[in-house]
Each structure stands twice: as C-alpha cells, then as structure tokens.
Structure 1
C-alpha cells in the first residue's frame, strides 16, 4: 500500500537510505558484476540476472518478480536510457556498488549489495546523493520542542527512534507514528519527502509529543529475510508499535493516559491489533488506511498504473491477469500451487496472507475503544476515496469518529493537481499544514483514556 507503483516497488525504493562509508575507488570486480547486472535488467534478461543473487534474494525475487519490479520502475521513471557511472561504498560487512541509471523521467541509483562471496544480497533503487535533501516545513518551530534519540523495544529486535517533546510545562499528550509497508525509516522517507518528520515537527510545535522509529524490516532486514515463510504483520509492525506505546507512556513529560496511535496506510490496518495488545490507548488516527483487503487494493493499484498512459498493452493485460490469479490464491488457499509464495501477490509468504485473512482489520476497527480520526487525501490512488467511504459505512454506528477528506492531497498528504502519479513522490513537498493543524486540534481536544491500562 505504501509504495510508488506497488508495495514491492515501494519497498525497493524506500530502503537502503542509511549512510554508507564511501570508498575512494570502486571495487573493480564488483563494479563489473553490478554494471552487467543492470545491463541484463535493461535487456529484459531476468533469468540470467537472478543467477547473481544469494539464496535469500533468489527466493524473494525470482525472474518473474524481478521483471515486475523493473517494469513497475519503468512505469514511474520512464524507459531506461543508460548507465552514467558507478561508485562504491561499504555498509557493515557488505560491499555496495551504486550504479547511476538515467531514465526518461528521473535519475536513480541502483544500490546493489554484495556479500562476502560476491553474490547480490540486496537490491534497491534510490535517489542519487543530494537529490533527497530535506528542508523543514514553515510550520516547524524547533525552538518549541526538544529532541531525544532512544531505542524502541528490547532484546535482539530493538529499533532506533526519535522522541520530540514540547517545551514548557507538562504533561502533554503524545502520539506514536506507525509507518506503512516496506522497510521504512522513522521519517517514512521517499525521495526528498519525509512525511513522518513533517508530522512530528508540526505536532511537537503545537504541543504534542511524538515518537517515531525505524521499522524492523529496515533495521533487521537480513535477519527477517530468512523468515519470510513465517513473517506476519505482527512481526513487521504490530509488536514494535506496542513497545513504542509503552515507551511513550513512560516518557518524562508525557501524559500516559493521553497517548494516541497513528497508522499510515498498512500501519492503520495494524491499529486494532495494537489496541488488543495494549489496552487504554486514548485514541486512534487512520491516515490513508484501506478499508478493503490488501490484495484487492494491490490489484486496483496496478490496474491504475498500467492505465495511466491511456493504453494497456497486451503484456500489461497479461500481467494484470496474472495478478488476478495471485489474488485468487489469497482468497482461496486450496488453489495454491506447490511453488507456494511465488504464486502469491508481492512476493509475500502464505503465512503473511493467512494472518491478514484471520484478522479482518475492517471488522476489528469497529470494536476499537476510544475516539477515531479518519484522514484521507482525495488524490490518493493507492488508498482511495472508496476506502474512505468504506470507513464511513463501517464506523457509522460509532459516535466518537471524525472524518476528514482533503481533496487535493495525495497518499503522502502532500498538495498536488490532476491525477496522482508515482512521479510526484520524487518532487519535494510537505504534509499540508491543514492536516497538521487538524490533527493537533483533534489530539489536544480528546480526554484521557478511561480503559484500565496493563
């Protein structure tokens, strides 16, 4: 849900943003492998390209999935034109080659991560250095709050996070920001945009404490790659969000009875499960949250993207039919073929999809205790007005629900005009000030939770 072209592509675009130690000269042999790999992508030779993968990557991105990623990337950035250079870096024990790629509409770097055996252990498409420079919004008033770096969770799965605490007397209300799908950082970085950083600074400037954190799928990506057959939304999102709520409640200057949770896109789907594990949350914010099953939203996204240019080619039509069959297997597990996860949408395993089917988020949301705020961008093609109207119907019997629709905003709640496309995610912008103001007013106007906390 939280992706420029589809969930899988968002995962590849959003990840790998951590700083790398630059090397003075590229590692020649790895550079040759990396540039040849990109040549094969451009030539459509995906069967040969995957022969450079390590076992984890081979399982996650077989030739047909790799082809889907490349075609989706071309749908966003335009046709591939040429390579324009390469550079090397080192991240932990991994060697990384960045291959600069010129597309018709954008310049991106293919970030290719190598293990000690010179096999490709990671693949990401990221903006080049300097292209993603962030400039704070006008509503950010740094003098109005303090900032603390901390760790969310415990044991082997701890995550780095940032807490913004308003200056002045407390205690103040607080909110945990739960990100969408993919290995996102605490800012929900995509290109030059940082929607969670905008929200955090805007809310803290208005008297609300905000805790945000890097996702487990970013910080512990390698460990989780070996668990794809058992990974569920609980491990991806729910467990860490619960730990973040508990941490925020204990934080100095925060009113533990007025801690809220905001979920963006897939993060909103997790809200009922977070509430079930941590009673006494003061309220919930659904930011562009689907009211329909994930697989149906994914299929609709792909149909929208293939139709953006007004023409659906035979190849695109065949891909849509293939996606339809994948979605059918989610809804009817008995129809799955022996190849398993490769026959399911987005390369996610059977455990993930079965877990989503067992936990119907739309039904569970009706049982949420406490006030709910549903916010939706009218230009959002990933989570659409159909989902917003779905929440109106599902939550119609609840008296403490507020609905806010912003006609000109996209999935990141950034202003725009016309039909929303993936290209606009790479144009610098900020979460609209009206969204920040409405959210702050709603949070500060809600009372403390009445449900006993554990």
Structure 2
C-alpha cells in the first residue's frame, strides 16, 4: 500500500511538472485571407487540470473559456466548442507549433511565450485621487449576487453617482473589449472629476453569480435596478443622486429604468438605439457589409433572409426553445436543401439567444418618450453598429413626444461605436486604435452630469 501511494504521488508530480511546460501566457498570429489576427492564450493549472482562456482583440473577445485543455506526449489540445474552434499544437523548443481548427478548417498558428501587449495610453494607473471599493449587491428577484467596483471622489460629500450598464455580450465591470477597458477608463475619468461610479460584472461573468446565457434585456434590467437599490441604501451613497450610463444595449436598458423609477436622477445613453431592435440589427448588418465592400446583391439577399427570420421571432411569444424551433424550421423551408442543415442551425443559434431575441423585440421609443428626468443621447457619426442618422432621428422624435425639456441628443463627428476617434468606423479599427475613448466625450459627459445634478 505504501508503494502504491508513493507511485501515485510520483505520477501526479510528473504530470504537474510536465504540464508546467505549457502554463503561462502565449501569443501568436493567424494569417487568413490577407488579414493578420492576433491570438493570446492564458493557460493555468489551479489544481491537477489545465484551464485556458483566449483573447482575440480584433474580434472583441477577452477571456473566452476553453471547455477542455490537455497536454500529453508534447501535444497541447484546447477546445472552444462555443466558437466551434480547436487548437492542436506540439511543443518545440520555446514554441507551440500547430493549427487552429474552426469548422474543420485548419489554419497554422504558432504560439510563443509572452503576453500580448497593446499600447493603451488611457488605461488607468494607480495611485488614484478617488477611493476604490470592491462591493457586492443582491438581485433578490433573481437570487443572484453581482460583484463590482465602486469609485467615490475623495473629500466630496454626496457626489452624484453613475451606474454603468454595459453593452451586448458577456461583459465584465471594466468593459474589456477589443483590447480596451472602456468602462474602466470612463469610470476613472468621472471619479477623478467629482462623480462616483458603480460598474459591475454582468451575471455569470467575473465574480458575479448567475448565468449570462439564459438572460435577456428584462433580466439585465433587473440587475441594474438592483444596483440602484444598493446605492440608495449604502451608507456612503444613500444621499447621492444616482443616474445611469448605458452603452449600446445598455442604452436600451437605462431609459427603461429611468422611465419607471423616480430614483434615477439622470440618464446618459452612449450609442443607444432609437429604432426597433429588428430594424437596428438589419441596419447594423447592412452598414458593416458596406464597410467590407460586400456586393449589393449579396447585402440584399442577407437582408431578405434575416428580415424573414426576425419576423418569425417577433411574432412568436413562446419560450426561447419554441422560438428557436420555429426559426430553424422557417429557415430550412426558405433555404431548401441546397444549404447544409448545419449551416442553417448555426444561423439559428446566433439569432435566437435570449439576449438577441429580447433585442429584436425591443422598442426603445416607447420608453424614451416617458422619461421625465434629464437624459442625453450621444452617438458617433461613424458608428456602424448603431447607425446614427436613423437612430438619432427616432430618439429626437421620442423625446419631443415626451415634452421633456431636459432631453437632448448629440452626434459627434468621426467617432465609432466605442467613441474612439476613427477613420472608417469599421470593426477592425477598434483594436488598432490606441485611444480607448475620445477625451472630448469624457469631458462632455462629466460636464453634463454636473450641470444636471446638485454639487
């Protein structure tokens, strides 16, 4: 028995030391169809198994979790089923040489040791001239705990406080996307200039409990409402005026809360839409494809197909599973046998997540017209994700219908969806631009909040 125990310990020690060869930060570049795409793998071994997360800054991915990581016989295998992606490589000297395989199509990817470092001059650095507190608060309706960071200006009694409501996709409190920490930069600027900020990990992300994948706008609205309730009871903030800053889909959530809650003192919409969700998604796709020089006939074909699918979703009041089945059936009938079933199912999966379904069914104008407290909508003129012309027009119309004298819209020249100063507004620029958020927008938001709250 003693021998068996020694053998077991020896084998385990051998596994750990062998696996340590691949732990750490790795980076590499995929060259595909004339594009260079940087990848970063972060491999850890918290106990007796390997864990991997992946960053693709140009695609806006940070911390994508691998379902499985193995390293045997000098071969590393990492599976990302949510992206239909797998990496297989062999360690050789100080590198891992292999292929990134997506949809059974392999592309060479050699990984070398080291972190992928991007120049981000606006990234906050300590020491700070404001207090930083790690906090948690409960969403009692959903029985989940949300974790975040509260930053409060020093030596200012009852400063105004903004709750940041993030955009689509699973976002952490810092808004890490495309190699930028958008919400961290925004919070740092505001709190350095007299405005408190609460930013938090979305449910199922970071230190927050719950599940992101099963949530839609209603659930995210409930989480943001819980954040306000927390601030109104917390001893350091209960006498402060609390407002909302909603980015992208957060620009739908923030007005919904502001229209219904007297606790909201102000609302800032950052790239928030004004047109219905299905129209937004179609206009977004059209604008993106024009930036990519997709032929007009192909753009129209995509508009017809997705417009048809979106109508099926909007008209279906059933469960998410029922909506998914209806869309899958409708697309199979429309596309016929010429399109592989797997491809049809992939399209269905993309457009029937609870978040996307709730976005497609959203009608922002119905809430925008009901807001009575100060509200401002900021949009970039080179934002293809929320094209400013039709959205600003719809927001203005809704504000006018509500007769809110403290409602205003502003469109900034040469800014994209992240409010970066840009050339075209294309998605590919997001990670290439070193600026995280235009200083003029940071200053504008700060000034506007101070003008509409009591110092």
The one of 280, 285, 308 equivalent to 2:268 is: 285
Give the whole-Å Cα distance in 2 for the aligned partners of 1:145 and 1:423.
34
Closer, same or farther in 2 for the Cα pair 1:355/1:286, shift >3 Å? same
Give the whole-Å Cα distance in 1 for the aligned partners of 2:256 and 2:451.
25
SS in 2 for 1:282: strand
CA contact (8 A) 1:291 1:362 kept: yes
The one of 289, 303, 309 equivalent to 2:286 is: 303
The one of 101, 113, 126 equivalent to 2:66 is: 113
1:274 Cα deviation from its structure 2 partner: 2.3
Alignment pair present for 1:149 and 2:134: yes
Give the whole-Å Cα distance in 1 for the aligned partners of 2:450 and 2:62.
43
SS in 2 for 1:169: coil
Closer, same or farther in 2 for the Cα pair 1:85/1:164, shift >3 Å? closer
Kindly indicate which of the two structures has a greater share of residues assigned to strand: 2
CA contact (8 A) 2:144 2:209 kept: no
1:350 Cα deviation from its structure 2 partner: 8.0
Unmatched runs of 5 consecutive residues or more in structure 1: 1-21, 28-41, 43-73, 449-454
Query: In the alignment, what sits opposite 1:49?
Result: none
The one of 386, 405, 412 equivalent to 2:418 is: 412
Question: Quick check: 114-123 or 276-285, which moved more?
Answer: 114-123
CA contact (8 A) 1:257 1:282 kept: no
Give the whole-Å Cα distance in 1 for the aligned partners of 2:83 and 2:121.
29
The one of 160, 164, 168 equivalent to 1:173 is: 160
1:365 Cα deviation from its structure 2 partner: 1.6
SS in 1 for 2:161: strand
Give the whole-Å Cα distance in 2 for the aligned partners of 1:93 and 1:348.
38
CA contact (8 A) 1:115 1:121 kept: no
The one of 130, 140, 156 equivalent to 2:115 is: 130
CA contact (8 A) 2:323 2:352 kept: no
SS in 1 for 2:379: strand
Higher Rg: 2
SS in 2 for 1:307: helix
1:349 Cα deviation from its structure 2 partner: 3.8
Q: Deviations over 1:70-109 (max 9, x none)?
A: xxxx9xx8557899997744579985456899x9x99999
Q: Aligned ranges for residues 300-339 of structure 1 at < 5 Å?
A: 300-312=283-295, 318-333=301-316, 339=325
SS in 1 for 2:150: strand
Query: In the alignment, what sits opposite 1:361?
Result: 364
SS in 2 for 1:172: coil
Query: In the alignment, what sits opposite 1:383?
Result: 386
1:147 Cα deviation from its structure 2 partner: 0.8
Query: In the alignment, what sits opposite 2:182?
Result: 195
CA contact (8 A) 1:295 1:345 kept: no
CA contact (8 A) 1:341 1:350 kept: no
Give the whole-Å Cα distance in 2 for the aligned partners of 1:355 and 1:338.
13
SS in 2 for 1:212: strand
Query: In the alignment, what sits opposite 2:95?
Result: none
Give the whole-Å Cα distance in 2 for the aligned partners of 1:264 and 1:352.
15
Closer, same or farther in 2 for the Cα pair 1:166/1:83, shift >3 Å? closer
Closer, same or farther in 2 for the Cα pair 1:201/1:99, shift >3 Å? closer
Query: In the alignment, what sits opposite 1:267?
Result: 250
Query: In the alignment, what sits opposite 1:233?
Result: 217
CA contact (8 A) 2:273 2:364 kept: no
1:382 Cα deviation from its structure 2 partner: 0.7
Q: How many residues align?
A: 374
1:161 Cα deviation from its structure 2 partner: 0.6
Give the whole-Å Cα distance in 2 for the aligned partners of 1:414 and 1:390.
23
Alignment pair present for 1:242 and 2:194: no
1:279 Cα deviation from its structure 2 partner: 2.9
CA contact (8 A) 1:296 1:327 kept: no
Closer, same or farther in 2 for the Cα pair 1:313/1:99, shift >3 Å? farther
